[in-house]
């Protein structure tokens, strides 16, 4: 395997400037990862590099960071942001599910602490044009890594209605899964659903009028379910949770931030069942009221920590 690390190609300067992404639970992450000089850290979800920059700052002058980011545009933006730490990090375009193999290959194992911050960055949601947001009218793609073959558009237009219903129920915990799947099936008979706005409208019309104006937009769970399916998010998380403890030094920390109950349940159960780990957070750590006010995206974040025995 050849790992392309810190390669910029010719496209670094062509990546457009993006919305700021405010890193969630930043102080808590630094505290629980015990970031200090000389440590070897892994950021499994670099995004725009907010947590990575803070880890490098706090582990100065000689801490080292290996960053994983499978979306090339995000990786290039992070690379630009981290230039001032040149020589102290490597950013690889890899799936964090492959962390063990990649760290072996880089000879950066065992490590002091690992972070994964699941969910979407503001860049993917607002700047990538890939249809992650039901508030925008964009091509319904939803691939975080454009090397994947299947898009959300493919799923919505080709999956048999019963399977679509099952997908919405299991990945979206959507209580109107049947109505929404049926409505999608009806709509695509006349013409395919091509954009995020078209899908949001089909869902909006499919749910009972009484839930159309609730705080949570009626399409939220449908979009979550499709995104999870397209990117195989739960499979990746499971594989990561199985293999990450072997990447840690004794006393090393595993820090996971999740944004919905499916992920949080997986993390909680995996930590508890794993004989290699001691759970340090009986209850998840959540953002303060002040953080939620400043950054509403943080409101559903839950942070859990385990230590390698």
Ligand X SMILES: C[S@@+](CC[C@H](N)C(=O)[O-])C[C@H]1O[C@@H](n2cnc3c(N)ncnc32)[C@H](O)[C@@H]1O
Binding site residues, ligand X, CB under 6 A:
21, 23, 45, 47-51, 68-71, 74, 95-97, 117, 119-121, 124, 144, 236
Structure tokens at 56: 């490098």
Compute the distance between CA of residue 117 and CA of residue 115 in angstroms, rounded to an integer: 7
Reference 28, options 238, 301, 245; nearest CA is 301
Q: In the structure encoding, which two tokens stand for residue 132, read together? A: 């992650």
Q: CB–CB of 94/102 below 8 Å?
A: yes
- DSSP state, 297? G
> Distance between CA atoms of 14 and 44, rounded to whole angstroms?
25
- Residue 133 Cβ vs ligand X, minimum distance, rounded to whole Å: 14
Closest CA to 267 of 284, 253, 251, 250: 284
Report the SS3 class of residue 120. coil
Q: In terms of CB distance, is 18 or 195 closer to ligand X? A: 18
Identity of the residue, 72 or 246, whose beta carbon is nearer to ligand X in the bound complex:
72
Tell me whether residue 21 or residue 221 sits nearer to ligand X (CB atom): 21
- The residue with tokens 């090339």 is 72
Nearer to ligand X, 100 or 185 (CB): 100
Choose between 133 and 198: whose C-beta lies nearer to ligand X: 133
Find the shortest distance in angstroms from Cβ 210 to ligand X: 33
> How many CB atoms neighbour CB 280 within 10 A?
15
- The distance of closest approach from Cβ of residue 202 to ligand X in the complex, given in angstroms and rounded to an integer, is 27
The rounded distance, in Å, linking the Cα atoms of 156 and 203 is 12
Q: Bridge partners of 257?
A: 117, 303
Query: Closest separation between CB of residue 240 and ligand X, Å?
Result: 7
For ligand X, the closer of residues 96 and 176 by Cβ is 96
Report, in Å, the least distance between residue 71 CB and ligand X. Answer: 4
Rounded to a whole number of angstroms, the minimum distance from the CB of residue 250 to ligand X is: 26
């Amino acid at each position: 395997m050849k790992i392309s690390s810190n390669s910029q190609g010719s496209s670094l300067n062509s990546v457009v400037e993006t919305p700021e992404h405010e890193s969630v639970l930043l102080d808590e992450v630094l505290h629980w990862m015990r970031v200090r000089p000389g440590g070897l850290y892994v950021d499994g979800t670099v995004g725009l590099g907010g947590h990575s920059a803070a880890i490098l700052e706090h582990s100065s002058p000689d801490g080292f960071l290996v960053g994983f980011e499978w979306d090339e545009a995000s990786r290039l933006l992070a690379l630009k942001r981290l230039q001032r730490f040149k020589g102290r990090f490597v950013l690889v375009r890899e799936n964090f599910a492959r962390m063990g193999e990649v760290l072996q290959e880089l000879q950066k194992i065992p490590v002091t602490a690992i972070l994964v911050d699941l969910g979407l960055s503001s860049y993917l949601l607002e700047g990538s044009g890939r249809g992650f947001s039901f508030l925008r009218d964009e091509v319904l793609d939803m691939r975080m890594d454009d090397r994947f073959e299947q898009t959300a558009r493919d799923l919505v237009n080709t999956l048999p209605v019963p399977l679509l219903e099952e997908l919405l129920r299991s990945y979206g915990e959507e209580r109107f899964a049947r109505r929404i799947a049926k409505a999608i099936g009806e709509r695509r008979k006349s013409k395919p659903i091509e954009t995020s706005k078209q899908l949001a409208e089909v869902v909006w019309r499919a749910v009972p009028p009484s839930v159309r104006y609730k705080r949570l937009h009626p399409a939220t769970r449908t979009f979550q379910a499709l995104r999870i399916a397209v990117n195989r998010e739960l499979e990746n998380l499971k594989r990561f949770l199985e293999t990450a403890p072997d990447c840690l030094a004794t006393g090393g920390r595993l820090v996971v931030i999740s944004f919905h109950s499916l992920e949080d349940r997986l993390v909680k159960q995996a930590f508890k069942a794993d004989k290699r780990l001691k759970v340090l957070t009986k209850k998840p750590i959540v953002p303060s009221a002040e953080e939620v006010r400043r950054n509403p995206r943080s409101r559903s974040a839950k942070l859990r920590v385990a230590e390698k025995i």
